[in-house]
Structure 1
Amino acid sequence: MQTIKATVVMEIPEDKVIIDRIEYEQLKYDSDSGTWWTTADITDRYHHKMDWFKEKIFYIPKYKKILSDENGGPVHYSNNENGRHWSFEPNGFKQFMANYFPEINRG
């Protein structure tokens, strides 16, 4: 059997970079550090309305205990009925969703 070795030259445009997937994931994670999401941010990112989050997650005692910032969680619950003052620490909330979404979705 013969083996052929080929060299390929690719030009990368000046405005592009190539990075490892792990580094890319870390950059995405870090981009949310030091910020807080709003209700609009979570509804955009997770494609569910706030009513769904309230019904399936935020008002379920088991999840509220985990999520509430009063217990060290990533969600500041609103005292306002329309939810205008909800805030979400992105990385903690993303981790919660990664851990619990299969359970929530089955519920």
Structure 2
Amino acid sequence: MQRLTLQLTIPIPAESVLISRVELEELRKQELLGIYWSMQDLERRVNKGQVWIKENILYQPRFKKILDVEQGGFVFYPKSRGQNWSFHAAKMAEFLDKRFADIFTSFADKESGK
């Protein structure tokens, strides 16, 4: 078998930095630490309205038992009018990433009548 060895120089602009994917993910997580989202923040993240989010995520029994702060989760469910929703940003972002297919598959099934 023949082998060819190359040496390649790729210039990286001074305003850019190369970091590993692991470091990038850690930075993203740290960016959300200590940050809490409102319902409006969650609407922007999911790109869906409050009604859809409540029906398809927050009040779905399989998700609520994970999310509800009273069950050890990271979402404060308002108990009365005037109280605001509160979401631990890092944990909610992770939940949405991990459950993306489950959330949107359920939604697509409902839309198609399955």
How many equivalent pairs are there? 106
Normalising by the residue count of structure 1, what TM-score does the alignment of the two structures yield?
Answer: 0.79
Displacement of 1:4 in angstroms is 4.0
The gaps in structure 2 that reach 5 residues or longer are 107-114
Residues 1-107 of structure 1: pairs in structure 2 closer than 5 A: 3-81=3-81, 85-107=84-106
2: CA distance, partners of 1:77 / 1:63: 13
Contact 1:68/1:74, CA 8 A, preserved across alignment: yes
What RMSD, in angstroms, separates the aligned Cα atoms of the two structures? 2.3
2: CA distance, partners of 1:2 / 1:106: 49
Query: Structure 1, residues 44-93: CA drift from partner, whole Å, max 9, x if none?
Result: 111111111111121233322221111221101123547x6111112221
Query: Structure 1, residues 19-61: CA drift from partner, whole Å, max 9, x if none?
Result: 0111111111111011111112211111111111111121233
Q: Bigger shift: 27-36 or 60-69?
A: 60-69
Q: Decide whether aligned partners of structure 1 residues 4 and 32 sit closer, same or farther in structure 2, where only a CA change above 3 A counts.
A: same
Contact 1:32/1:90, CA 8 A, preserved across alignment: yes
Normalising by the residue count of structure 2, what TM-score does the alignment of the two structures yield?
Answer: 0.75
